[in-house]
Chains A and B, each alone.
Chain A
Amino acid sequence: MNKEYTEAKARFEAGVMKTLQKNKERKETFSTGGGLPLERLYGPDMTEGTDYVKEVGFPGEYPFTRGVQSTMFRGRFWTMRQYAGFASAEESNERYRYLLASGTTGLSVAFDLPTQIGYDSDDPMAQGECGKVGVAIDSLKDMEILFDKIPLDKVSTSMTINAPASVLLAMYICVGEKQGVPMSALSGTIQNDILKEYIARGTYIFPPKPSMRLITDIFEFCSQNVPKWNTISISGYHIREAGSTAAQEVAFTLADGIAYVEAARSKGLDPNVFGERLSFFFNAHNDFLEEVAKFRAARRMWAKIMKERFGVTNPKAQMLRFHTQTGGSTLTAQQPENNIVRVTMQALSAVLGGTQSLHTNSMDEALALPSEKSVMIALRTQQIIAYESGVTNTVDPLAGSYVVESLTNEIEEKAFEYIQQIDEMGGMLTAIEKGYVQKHIQDAAYEFQRAVESKENVVVGVNKFQIEEKNKDMKLLTVDASVGERQIKKLQELKASRDNVAVSNALDAIRSAALNESQNLMPLIIDAVRVYATEGEICGVLRGVFGEYTENIVL
């Protein structure tokens, strides 16, 4: 920096010292929500060492710090995609059509827990859970109802499904067939990210090795047959919800990504090809500046990883494209209307961070599944940011902000440190097995809780500015308790009317293919789904061959 600047800064700092003698600052030290130290002031000297072209660059160009498209939201807005689904396929279909009519541009299917863990609704493990956190899907029959009157060539669908992702994707492909839409025309995403299930979300079924095989089978099958499908959504969202810091969210997500790329490469797949279909999913949390920096850092890091570590030359396979959801754990049950404001700021950080699609949480989600009204407000929040705030009219408007660029650098540095430790341990699978990742997340979560209880962290309405609240008069959504019974009845009818010989043949074929690692399971799962084998039957066969995973507790 030049002499003039250095002198001016010294003058300023002397002035500050005087001020501090009279008036102390609110805290001794300041830091981001994720614990990164924050300076009083950021100036040009802080980003002086950053090579603009190399590290920041232009949007649509390596390392994509400023975004994955050259025109970003001047071209088109992000996909407004609200995660939804509850009860049975009938009710959820109705909600989807309501959302599409209200202007959402993509669907996002929430499945109930039995579906996510590969149990049919009549399984004893499914008792009390059917239709509770999402829609219950047992067979292709349910899936046909779920997408009734929704043209699959016009809408892109994201499905939050992991351990049994192959089965649900197979069902989607078959619904497409029935609508006359070839699989090559289908677009959407399956979450398909098993590693973060072991780390943070808990809906795993099989042990890591066969799980990784199912994932790479999907990569291979889709690159040949469903080219517009995002075959995985590598998710930091749940890692953050489990309590990680922003830098950990980036680090562990990208480390998961590295593990998937390595698994696919060892199967002989080309990262220049499947790399285009990898997508990511992040959390938009409270600390506004840190979050914007986090998204930018993640993009830059992934580009570097793909290029430098995996030798990827196809720019599309270097790009980190991501979905964002506002932070569920930041919502408060107290004074729930305040959540609208939280969601607004979180969503704004995602937009300024250059997200490709966005889900905004509803204000009542700390209490129950969202009601129709609160879902509408959440969607309107996105539309107001898109159409009214003006931030979408120029690309990456916060670039060049001294603090945002500094934080971007710091998150990158911190996250690469974690990745290096994971590499030294022998990769993400070993790190999970040793509980390294879980331990870091739980420590951060416990630390956060203590800071809230000591009021070092203020949560408005929870540990400060509380008010006496009479029984909250919000209208909450309740799921009809009869969903389970209805599903069981549907299953009985299905099993009585389908071709059971065809089903058992299809299941046998899956069993023998499961034993043979070199055979791709996807086509066989599609065959089974098509003759109405249920999800529980298919997963049951795979459980028999692969075994089940038990969590690794580190507390």
Chain B
Amino acid sequence: MAVDTLLEKALGGDIRSIARIISLIENDNPEKDALLKRVYPMTGKAIVLGITGSPGAGKSTLTDKVIEHFRRQGKKVGVIAVDPSSPFSGGAILADRIRMQRHTGDSGVYIRSMGTRGSLGGLSRGTRESVILLDACGYDVIIIETVGVGQSEVDIIKIADTVCLVLVPGMGDDIQIMKAGIMEIANVFAINKADKPGVDRVAAEVRLMLDLVKDRPWVPPVHLTVAENGTGIEELVASIASHSVFLKSNPDGVRREWRRLAFEVEEILLQHITRMTEKSWNAYKTDEVMELLLSRKSNPYAVAEDVLRKIIPGTRVV
């Protein structure tokens, strides 16, 4: 199907077309940039929420309940649930939506599972671009559920307006989180499984950390939640909404958007350069060139310079 028709149908709310365009984005289809350029002016309305935290913290169950609350307010919700791809096969088992399956019958909810597909940060460019599409298609709230390990937890700030960090008592991960610098990026805290022993200690530790920074324009609220039975979700959702209002009204929020957009341009540039580089290098990478390298008659720097000159004449590596 022509991309134009797909886009038209997607903007009209056709689920399968939305899904297909997200696949084009994920597969880095050559036509996707033009398409995103076209829809970009329609974006900027959605609340983009990142939900992050260690595996086992209950992110999916929490997401399920957050969807429910936004739906009650009549908002359309899009979810991108990211799971790790296997570094060996490139395949993935994507199982986050199990806990959200009750929403499948609801036409106001779109859930998409994504593999990390080798992106170092766990969040791919495709994640951000899918957010753009969903925003253009009229989803009022777009939730990104991260893998919950390593870099993805920090990277989420490059995509989401509001980051919700999910912690649980008794997992011994509080210290790790503080080490990794994730505390700094969270705008809202959910101490989940709050019916378990140790919850007060975790909450106190988080508050203590937050107190270390004085005079912040937005003090991240700390909520105790039991996602399984919905306890505390209403308050959490209210905090998310007020953070989104804060971003629009406060200079700090504007600065944040400024940084995010600068980063976005940088990413698009990098993606294009990578693509061009790959193309040129693949064309240049003949057996002869490799032989020269192997026999040390040439060197990687010289070769790189030659390749680069094909893209941008006159450049020098060294």
Which residues in chain B, 96-129, are within 8 Å of chain A measured between CB atoms?
Answer: 98-99
Flag whether B228 is at the interface (Cβ < 8 A): yes
A555 nearest CB neighbor, chain B only: B93
A487 to chain B, nearest CB (A): 26
> How distant is the Cα of A426 from the Cα of B198 in the complex, in angstroms?
14
Flag whether B181 is at the interface (Cβ < 8 A): no
Interface size on B, residues (CB 8 A): 9
> How distant is the Cα of A435 from the Cα of B95 in the complex, in angstroms?
13
Given contacts A551-B98, A553-B98, A555-B93, contact A434 B56 (CB under 8 A): yes
A158 to chain B, nearest CB (A): 32
Residues of A within 8 A of B61 (CB): 550
> How distant is the Cα of A130 from the Cα of B93 in the complex, in angstroms?
32
> How distant is the Cα of A433 from the Cα of B56 in the complex, in angstroms?
8
B101 nearest CB neighbor, chain A only: A550
Flag whether A182 is at the interface (Cβ < 8 A): no
Chain B proximity mask over A431-459: 1 for CB below 8 Å, otherwise 0: 00111000000000000000000000000
* Main SS at interface, chain B: loop
B98 nearest CB neighbor, chain A only: A553
Flag whether B271 is at the interface (Cβ < 8 A): no
Which residues in chain B, 51-110, are within 8 Å of chain A measured between CB atoms?
Answer: 56, 61, 93, 95, 98-99
Chain A proximity mask over B194-221: 1 for CB below 8 Å, otherwise 0: 0000000000000000000000000000
Complex contact B95–A547 (CB within 8 A): no
Complex contact A547–B229 (CB within 8 A): yes
Residues of A within 8 A of B99 (CB): 550
A434 nearest CB neighbor, chain B only: B56
A425 to chain B, nearest CB (A): 10
A435 nearest CB neighbor, chain B only: B56
Residues of A within 8 A of B228 (CB): 207, 547
A207 nearest CB neighbor, chain B only: B228
Residues of B within 8 A of A553 (CB): 95, 98
A107 to chain B, nearest CB (A): 37
Chain B proximity mask over A414-433: 1 for CB below 8 Å, otherwise 0: 00000000000010000001
A209 nearest CB neighbor, chain B only: B195
B64 nearest CB neighbor, chain A only: A550
> How distant is the Cα of A426 from the Cα of B229 in the complex, in angstroms?
22
B59 to chain A, nearest CB (A): 13
A547 nearest CB neighbor, chain B only: B229
Residues of A within 8 A of B56 (CB): 433-435
Interface size on A, residues (CB 8 A): 10
Q: Which of A207, A426, A433, A555 contacts B95 (CB 8 A)?
A: A555
> How distant is the Cα of A207 from the Cα of B61 in the complex, in angstroms?
14
> How distant is the Cα of A550 from the Cα of B228 in the complex, in angstroms?
9
B96 nearest CB neighbor, chain A only: A553
Given contacts A207-B228, A434-B56, contact A550 B98 (CB under 8 A): yes
A426 nearest CB neighbor, chain B only: B170
Chain B proximity mask over A521-555: 1 for CB below 8 Å, otherwise 0: 00000000000000000000000000100110101
Residues of B within 8 A of A550 (CB): 61, 98-99
Chain A proximity mask over B25-66: 1 for CB below 8 Å, otherwise 0: 000000000000000000000000000000010000100000
> How distant is the Cα of A550 from the Cα of B98 in the complex, in angstroms?
8
* Most B C-beta atoms less than 10 A away, residue of A426, A435, A550, A551: A550
> How distant is the Cα of A207 from the Cα of B228 in the complex, in angstroms?
9
Residues of B within 8 A of A555 (CB): 93, 95
> How distant is the Cα of A207 from the Cα of B195 in the complex, in angstroms?
14
A432 to chain B, nearest CB (A): 12
> How distant is the Cα of A426 from the Cα of B56 in the complex, in angstroms?
15
A94 to chain B, nearest CB (A): 40
A20 to chain B, nearest CB (A): 37
> How distant is the Cα of A24 from the Cα of B87 in the complex, in angstroms?
39
> How distant is the Cα of A547 from the Cα of B228 in the complex, in angstroms?
9
> How distant is the Cα of A528 from the Cα of B93 in the complex, in angstroms?
45
> How distant is the Cα of A433 from the Cα of B93 in the complex, in angstroms?
19
B197 nearest CB neighbor, chain A only: A426
Residues of B within 8 A of A434 (CB): 56
A446 to chain B, nearest CB (A): 12
> How distant is the Cα of A433 from the Cα of B228 in the complex, in angstroms?
12
A549 nearest CB neighbor, chain B only: B228
Residues of A within 8 A of B95 (CB): 553, 555
Residues of B within 8 A of A551 (CB): 98
B54 to chain A, nearest CB (A): 11
A551 nearest CB neighbor, chain B only: B98
Chain B proximity mask over A182-203: 1 for CB below 8 Å, otherwise 0: 0000000000000000000000
> How distant is the Cα of A547 from the Cα of B61 in the complex, in angstroms?
14
> How distant is the Cα of A555 from the Cα of B93 in the complex, in angstroms?
7
> How distant is the Cα of A403 from the Cα of B73 in the complex, in angstroms?
68
A550 nearest CB neighbor, chain B only: B99
B61 to chain A, nearest CB (A): 7
> How distant is the Cα of A426 from the Cα of B99 in the complex, in angstroms?
24
B195 nearest CB neighbor, chain A only: A209
Chain B proximity mask over A204-238: 1 for CB below 8 Å, otherwise 0: 00010000000000000000000000000000000
> How distant is the Cα of A517 from the Cα of B232 in the complex, in angstroms?
23
> How distant is the Cα of A547 from the Cα of B64 in the complex, in angstroms?
15
> How distant is the Cα of A555 from the Cα of B228 in the complex, in angstroms?
21
Residues of A within 8 A of B229 (CB): 547
Residues of B within 8 A of A207 (CB): 228
A514 to chain B, nearest CB (A): 15
B193 nearest CB neighbor, chain A only: A433
Residues of B within 8 A of A547 (CB): 228-229
> How distant is the Cα of A426 from the Cα of B95 in the complex, in angstroms?
26
Which residues in chain A, 353-412, are within 8 Å of chain B measured between CB atoms?
Answer: none
Residues of B within 8 A of A433 (CB): 56
Which residues in chain A, 479-531, are within 8 Å of chain B measured between CB atoms?
Answer: none
> How distant is the Cα of A426 from the Cα of B171 in the complex, in angstroms?
11
> How distant is the Cα of A158 from the Cα of B107 in the complex, in angstroms?
46
Residues of B within 8 A of A426 (CB): 170
Which residues in chain A, 238-280, are within 8 Å of chain B measured between CB atoms?
Answer: none
> How distant is the Cα of A550 from the Cα of B95 in the complex, in angstroms?
12
B95 nearest CB neighbor, chain A only: A553
A207 to chain B, nearest CB (A): 7
Residues of A within 8 A of B170 (CB): 426
B196 to chain A, nearest CB (A): 10
> How distant is the Cα of A207 from the Cα of B229 in the complex, in angstroms?
10
> How distant is the Cα of A134 from the Cα of B229 in the complex, in angstroms?
33
Residues of A within 8 A of B93 (CB): 555
B83 nearest CB neighbor, chain A only: A555
Chain A proximity mask over B284-311: 1 for CB below 8 Å, otherwise 0: 0000000000000000000000000000
> How distant is the Cα of A426 from the Cα of B193 in the complex, in angstroms?
15
> How distant is the Cα of A555 from the Cα of B92 in the complex, in angstroms?
10
* Most B C-beta atoms less than 10 A away, residue of A426, A435, A553: A553
> How distant is the Cα of A277 from the Cα of B99 in the complex, in angstroms?
37
B230 nearest CB neighbor, chain A only: A547
B166 to chain A, nearest CB (A): 15
B177 to chain A, nearest CB (A): 18
> How distant is the Cα of A435 from the Cα of B98 in the complex, in angstroms?
15
B94 nearest CB neighbor, chain A only: A555
B315 to chain A, nearest CB (A): 47
Q: Using a CB–CB distance below 8 Å, which chain A residues touch chain B?
A: 207, 426, 433-435, 547, 550-551, 553, 555
- A and B contact pairs by CB, cutoff 8 A, 13 listed: A207-B228, A426-B170, A433-B56, A434-B56, A435-B56, A547-B228, A547-B229, A550-B61, A550-B98, A551-B98, A553-B98, A555-B93, A555-B95
Q: Using a CB–CB distance below 8 Å, which chain B residues touch chain A?
A: 56, 61, 93, 95, 98-99, 170, 228-229
Extra contacts, 12 of them, besides A553-B95, A553-B98, A555-B95 (Cβ < 8 A), are A207-B228, A426-B170, A433-B56, A434-B56, A435-B56, A547-B228, A547-B229, A550-B61, A550-B98, A550-B99, A551-B98, A555-B93
Q: 4 nearest interchain CB pairs?
A: A553-B95, A555-B93, A550-B99, A553-B98
